[in-house]
Structure 1
Amino acid sequence: MRNSIYKNALTRIQSEEKNVSLCSNNIINETYRMIIFIKDLLCELKTHILTQGFSDEQEEINFFKEIKPQILGKLVYYNKLSRIETTRPVSNGKLYNTYYSIHMRKLKKEFKVHILNSFFYRYYRSGRTDKDAIYFRLGHINFYDGLNSFVFEIDTHFSTYYDYKIARIIANELLYVYLLSKIEPYNHTDRFSTVLPFENEKVRWTDSKNALIELLYALHITGSISNGRIGLKKLGLLFQELFNIQLGDIHHAFHRMKDRTGDRSIFLNHLKKSLEQYMDKGL
């Protein structure tokens, strides 16, 4: 029951993002509305956890490793995006491109200095679970490790400190995709409008995000697109633009797929089976 509450929180964010996007064409207004929405949602979850607690250790670990970072990551992302857009000097031209390029360099520097070489980042990216009980349970912070001073300001009833570190990684990756779309030397909308024969209809991905990520990785590792020379992040950006979807942290999602029990390539096997069944109908 509680897991459904947590998953429903993620679904509510996705639904609100779609609603906000449809009723507003101003990025500053969109970010403000999303900040308020996610902040209130986190308050709801905090109240629920403080009153109900967790059913067991695994539920607690899952919440602080998988659920809360995705929500908090979106909040951090929209907050950073708001600061960037409210100080943007112009709407196009060389100064416009330079402005976003400067923020991209700042983002890359932050990643190299504060994230890339940390033990926790390697732990998180490798999909390890052996220290989860230390990193993602309340009251288990090891102050002897020389942690960031932010640890002394967190709410110890609703944070393990490391949930924030994952949220920061997620936020930075979302911001990277956004900035990349701003400094690319071509206009995405014009490029796709010349390729797709639709005037008023948006092409949307209607299966799960994991299904698209599974397909994305398969196309990348087989070199099926540009002989594999396009990086995963750029390929992810292309898919997001084409199918009007936010994929979030594709690397982390892929590592979760690797840990699936049984069929690990569910979507690709489904495609193969469906295609063969369709072929058999024509015999």
Structure 2
Amino acid sequence: MVQLIYRDALLSISQHEQRISLESTHVIDESYRMTIFLRDLLTRMKEHVLTKGFTSKHEEIEFFRTVKPQILGKLIYYNKLYRIETSCPVASGKMHHKYYSGELQHLKHEYREQICNSDFFRYYRSGRTDLDHEYFELGKINFNGGLNSYVFEIDHHFSTYYDYKVSRIIANGLIYSYLLSKVTHDDAEWQTNDKDFFWTDSKNALIELIYALYASESISGGKIGIRKMSIVFQVLFRIKLGDIHHAFHRMKERTGNRTSYLDHLKASLEKYMDKDIY
């Protein structure tokens, strides 16, 4: 039962992330909508657990070690992302870079002080399971360990306290990747040593290519969102694409050929293949 719930939850999250990523014009809107969705999903999951319970201790452990943290971790991540983006003072420049660099340093400090030095973090990262009955079963919280005060605020019918710890580990990993991409994007503005490597076609052509790779799930099995993919290509080719969502919607409304660049690529490759290169 837990495995089925887990697969359904992950599929639902993935589908919403892809749909909202396509529909949203800014990461603020995307993170807000995902926060609302994940909050409601977690509420439904809680109602299910409180009503149905678990069929075994193994199922209970699996839920609090794996299922719930995936939902709560993403919820913490998108909520933090919303706060980061709505607090950003400017859209570009040195202050923009300094802001994201400061957020990244703050996250690293929090990681060193509160997470990586804990016994539980080393236990979880090592893949151990021998103490799962202590960490991920309801009613097993050991207050003698000097736990964070958050333990007094949780619903003890829907949390073992350590499921929240796992959620924070997952969320911090996602936040770190996001902030690193922002800082790297700014650092590359655009300081690559290879000045001969750059995009020479139109911006719309590159956007069409990015969306084609996304739609075909050719990169990371389709698990990478449009926005993250666009950042990689912008850094790689030292080009700013602007609002790719609006550009894509304009492509959808083209009269005649909506995939002109992809058709051009196909024709160019076939022409090249037909050459007598020997």
Report the TM-score when normalising by structure 1.
0.70
CA distance in 1, matches of 2:25, 2:222: 29
Does the alignment pair 1:66 with 2:66? yes
Structure 2 equivalent of residue 177 of structure 1: 177
The percentage of counterpart residues that share the same residue type is: 51
The 5-angstrom pairing of residues 141-152 of structure 1 reads: 141-152=141-152
Per-residue CA deviations over 1:203-239 (Å, capped at 9, x if unaligned) read: 2474897999xxxxxxxxxxxxxxxxxxxxxxxx99x
Does the alignment pair 1:119 with 2:114? no
The 5-angstrom pairing of residues 1-283 of structure 1 reads: 1-184=1-184, 185-186=187-188, 194=199, 199-202=207-210, 203-204=213-214, 206=217, 241=232
Whichever residue aligns with residue 147 of structure 1, its letter is L
Report the TM-score when normalising by structure 2.
0.71
CA distance in 2, matches of 1:4, 1:152: 31
When residues 109 and 199 of structure 1 are mapped into structure 2, their CA distance, relative to the original with a 3 A threshold, is closer
**TM-aligned CA deviation for residue 159 of structure 1:** 0.6
Q: Which has the higher contact order (CA 8 A, sep 6+)?
A: 2
CA distance in 1, matches of 2:54, 2:140: 16
CA distance in 1, matches of 2:11, 2:189: 30
When residues 130 and 65 of structure 1 are mapped into structure 2, their CA distance, relative to the original with a 3 A threshold, is same
When residues 36 and 211 of structure 1 are mapped into structure 2, their CA distance, relative to the original with a 3 A threshold, is closer
- Tell me if structure 1 keeps the 8 A contact 2:54–2:60: yes
Structure 2: which 5+ runs fail to align? 234-278
CA distance in 2, matches of 1:122, 1:151: 20
Aligned residues: 217
Max radius of gyration: which structure? 2
Task: State the secondary structure of the residue aligned to 1:12.
Answer: helix
When residues 208 and 61 of structure 1 are mapped into structure 2, their CA distance, relative to the original with a 3 A threshold, is farther
CA distance in 2, matches of 1:42, 1:201: 36
Whichever residue aligns with residue 60 of structure 1, its letter is E
When residues 44 and 195 of structure 1 are mapped into structure 2, their CA distance, relative to the original with a 3 A threshold, is farther
RMSD of aligned alpha carbons: 3.0
CA distance in 2, matches of 1:127, 1:95: 40
